[in-house]
């Protein structure tokens, strides 16, 4: 193969590699935009909302609660109730139980999602443990409250929705001295 052909092939490979890297880098924001447009992402708001001004007593919605623990996280994490029935607009309080099974302090973070995804924008959290990190000492238990309501504008065809939390470990299972002080600083707040 001649030198110009080799150079063109090399440049083509370099540009193809850069293009693939750029596409992979842009994939997450593109996916988020796609999910926002189609309403299938299941993400709930990450900030508190106010209570509802109206309650639709003419209908009921079943809300199911699920908890998952990311692999490698040594915690117990479960909802105190598996499901409840609510009137849209009605404020409800439920709690999740958490226990750090480690011998040292760790910090957990719960990330919510709603199924069906289109219902996520109608699930309003007034107060949620998912808004903050949850530091627990080794062996410590905690009740984690969730105060929420379902927006009365929830489409009529949605009669059941599921709120799932996945618990992640924000710090390593065996924190260093620096991470211990970070846990202590968070607890002091």
What gap in Å lies between CA 40 and CA 144, rounded to an integer?
27
pLDDT cut 70: percent of the chain above it: 75
Q: pLDDT at position 179, please?
A: 39
Q: How confident is the model at residue 89 (pLDDT cuts 50, 70, 90)?
A: very high
| CA 82 to mean position of chain CA atoms | 18
105-116 residue pLDDT tens: 999 999 999 999
Q: Do 90 and 168 form a contact (C-beta atoms < 8 A)?
A: no
Give the model's confidence band at 5: pLDDT under 50 very low, under 70 low, under 90 confident, else very high: confident
pTM, whole model, 2 decimals?
A: 0.66
Residue 97 has pLDDT above 90, yes or no: yes
pLDDT at 54 over 90: no
Average pLDDT over residues 142-156: 94
């Amino acid at each position: 193969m001649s030198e110009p052909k080799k150079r063109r092939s090399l440049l083509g490979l370099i540009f193809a590699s850069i293009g693939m890297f750029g596409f992979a880098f842009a994939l997450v924001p593109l996916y988020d935009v796609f999910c926002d447009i189609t309403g299938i992402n299941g993400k709930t708001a990450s900030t508190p909302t106010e209570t509802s001004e109206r309650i639709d007593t003419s209908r009921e919605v079943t809300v199911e609660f699920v908890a998952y623990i990311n692999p490698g996280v040594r915690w117990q994490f479960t909802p105190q109730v598996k499901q409840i029935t609510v009137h849209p607009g009605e404020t409800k309080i439920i709690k999740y139980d958490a226990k750090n099974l480690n011998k040292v302090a760790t910090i957990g973070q719960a990330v919510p999602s709603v199924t069906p995804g289109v219902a996520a924008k109608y699930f309003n959290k007034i107060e949620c443990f998912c808004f903050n990190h949850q530091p627990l000492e080794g062996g410590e238990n905690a009740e984690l409250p969730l105060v929420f309501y379902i927006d009365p504008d929830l489409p009529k065809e949605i009669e059941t929705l599921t709120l799932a939390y996945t618990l992640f470990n924000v710090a390593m299972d065996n924190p260093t001295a620096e991470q211990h002080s970070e846990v202590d600083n968070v607890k002091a707040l």
